[in-house]
Structure 1
Amino acid sequence: MQNTSPGSLVIQAWLTKHGVSPQLAQKYVKNGWLQKLRSGVYARPGKKPQWHNAVGCLVEQLEFPAHLAGLTSLTYQGKSHYLQLQEKHIWLEVPPKTALPLWFKAFPKYCDELSLVQPVDDEYSKNTLATESENPDWLFVTSNKLLEEAPSDLIEIEVNNTQLKASSPELAAFELLNAVPTTISFEHAAEVFQGLTNLSPRKVQSLLNRSKTIKTNRLFLFLANYYRHPWASRVDESQINLGSGKRQVVTGGMLDHSYQITVPELFLAETSDFKDLPNG
């Protein structure tokens, strides 16, 4: 318990491992030292639990292979200005067909109804509680289209004093584009991608070499060239599976003849200088 802070979540299995039996946990609840959220799930009182507390509990205590992905990962690395204080969704990569705990899936809906067990006295915490937004919903990304994983795909970042695993900028960009247009619009994803001027060409190469989704590969290269990112010229397209034939990215869009994908007409207006480049 000494290793947890106000707002942290703890599960009974973790408490038992640290010498707190279910009976003792109930005593802690009665004494106001813990707040019960769901069966076997508790929070340290004094601060309302937030989404990052739930993710930290899922990964650290339950050892689930989950990480912040796509737009959320880019945002908390300072790569996107779109998600600020009013996040609507937290992008979370989990393996396909993973059975997530019910308490975790329902966390955004019931957490904001919680009341604090003990009062908060210091002015900083009062101000923090007053300005905290509702917990955003989860957006589970389970369609990682990579043939294999690489150690450089994941990094650790800090979110409100909580260490969390997250996609590297390169993988997050891939996840972002892989979600077009079902989860995020082409225009939104493109504007985020515009700011990715410092991606590692070595990591981009490794990522796209391992990718089995032709449409995402083509879109990644299209936007890299469209925005003339300096790292784009160091990516060898001949090593990347670009397939053959046309692919529809945007319904009703115009066909880009370089990468044979449909894009909004606006994005073809300034691409004449690289339209004749080979497909690789």
Structure 2
Amino acid sequence: MSLEKENKINSLMQGWPQNAVYLTSWLVENGYSHQLLNRYKKSNWITSLNNGAFIKSGGTATIEGAVYALQSQGKVSIHPSGKSALNLLGKAHYLEFSRQQYILFGNKNERIPSWMKNHNWGMEINYYPTSFLPSDLGLTEIEMNGFSIKISGAARAIMECLYLGPKRQDLKESFELMEGLNNLRPKQVQQLLEACTSVKVKRLFLYMAHKCGHPWLEFVEVENINLGKGKRQIVADGLYNPEYKITIPKNLVDE
């Protein structure tokens, strides 16, 4: 191997976090041809993930490492969301949290690439493309052993839980998660609620925050939030709450 080629592979390996995924398209764009990547693969420097991405040989591809590739190299807004984000933030520790499923949200025009769909992550990946919130609002950045990714902050994450309810996320569990969010920032809550396009999410969020008695709710200007008109039946055979004009599960009312 020539000195130039040796420096090239050394530079790549030294800057590659152990569990991070690198997109094939990004590597090619940055001077690593398909021929060169095949050579690295045969030399056991890198391992292919379904013909669209690579992992550093000896490492283990993690779902967060895949998200790192999507965000930093693919330039998409796909991010850990809902319960998965709350777990990463340490906000779901009092619930029995299982990594049997992992929740991702992204813009409605973004898709999970095939290499990510086809890889066995040891859990079910549930991706929801939606634009009920702006893609850049309410996110936070966390460090993951050599790389960082953007995930939903606590306020956005609980709204994502409510967006999935009641069919894909139990509302009683969402309420239990809300109970632990006693230190949300009112300014960020205000921004998210004003930008949110889902009346269901906004009404459920305010109902649960009020029921929890969170002090930060006093500083949220509800009159500036568009809560829509008329009644909303969130569940069938529920109980009607006249303040927020929603029909909610009986077990939530009795909580």
SS of the residue 1:155 aligns to: strand
Write out the 4+ residue segments of structure 1 that deviate beyond 4 Å after TM superposition: none
1:124-273 map, 5 Å: 134=122, 136-146=123-133, 148=134, 152-269=137-254
Structure 2 residue 47 is the aligned partner of structure 1 residue 58? no
Q: CA RMSD in A?
A: 2.1
TM-score w.r.t. the length of structure 2 is 0.86
Deviation at 1:198, TM superposition (A): 0.5
Change (3 A) 1:228 1:25: same
Structure 2 residue 55 is the aligned partner of structure 1 residue 43? yes
Change (3 A) 1:253 1:8: same
User: Which structure 2 residue ranges, 5 or more long, are not aligned?
Assistant: 1-11
Asked whether the equivalents of residues 91 and 139 of structure 1 are also in contact (C-alpha less than 8 Å), the reply is yes
Cα deviation, 1:2-49, whole Å, max 9, x if unaligned, reads 211333322333333443322222121121111122224221111221
Deviation at 1:152, TM superposition (A): 4.9
The number of equivalent residue pairs is: 242
User: Which structure 1 residue ranges, 5 or more long, are not aligned?
Assistant: 112-133, 271-280
Structure 2 residue 116 is the aligned partner of structure 1 residue 104? yes
Letter of the 2:129 partner, please give it: T
Structure-2 separation of matches of 1:8 and 1:201: 35
Asked whether the equivalents of residues 33 and 45 of structure 1 are also in contact (C-alpha less than 8 Å), the reply is yes
Which residue does the alignment assign to 1:87?
99
Deviation at 1:160, TM superposition (A): 4.3
TM-score w.r.t. the length of structure 1 is 0.79
Cα deviation, 1:42-72, whole Å, max 9, x if unaligned, reads 2111122111111111111222222221211
Structure-2 separation of matches of 1:78 and 1:224: 19
Cα deviation, 1:184-240, whole Å, max 9, x if unaligned, reads 011111111110101111111121122222121111110011010111122122111
Structure-1 separation of matches of 2:178 and 2:227: 20
Structure-1 separation of matches of 2:186 and 2:205: 12
Asked whether the equivalents of residues 69 and 175 of structure 1 are also in contact (C-alpha less than 8 Å), the reply is yes
Structure-2 separation of matches of 1:266 and 1:158: 38
Asked whether the equivalents of residues 75 and 83 of structure 1 are also in contact (C-alpha less than 8 Å), the reply is no
SS of the residue 2:142 aligns to: strand
- The worse-fitting range, judged by mean Cα deviation, of 89-98 and 152-161 is 152-161
SS of the residue 1:6 aligns to: coil
Structure-2 separation of matches of 1:105 and 1:4: 23
Deviation at 1:83, TM superposition (A): 6.6
Structure-1 separation of matches of 2:196 and 2:137: 15
- The worse-fitting range, judged by mean Cα deviation, of 33-42 and 196-205 is 33-42
SS of the residue 2:168 aligns to: coil
Which residue does the alignment assign to 2:5?
none
Letter of the 2:154 partner, please give it: P
Change (3 A) 1:40 1:256: closer
Structure-2 separation of matches of 1:206 and 1:54: 29
SS of the residue 1:225 aligns to: helix
Asked whether the equivalents of residues 76 and 110 of structure 2 are also in contact (C-alpha less than 8 Å), the reply is no
SS of the residue 1:80 aligns to: coil
Cα deviation, 1:74-95, whole Å, max 9, x if unaligned, reads 11111112475x4122221211
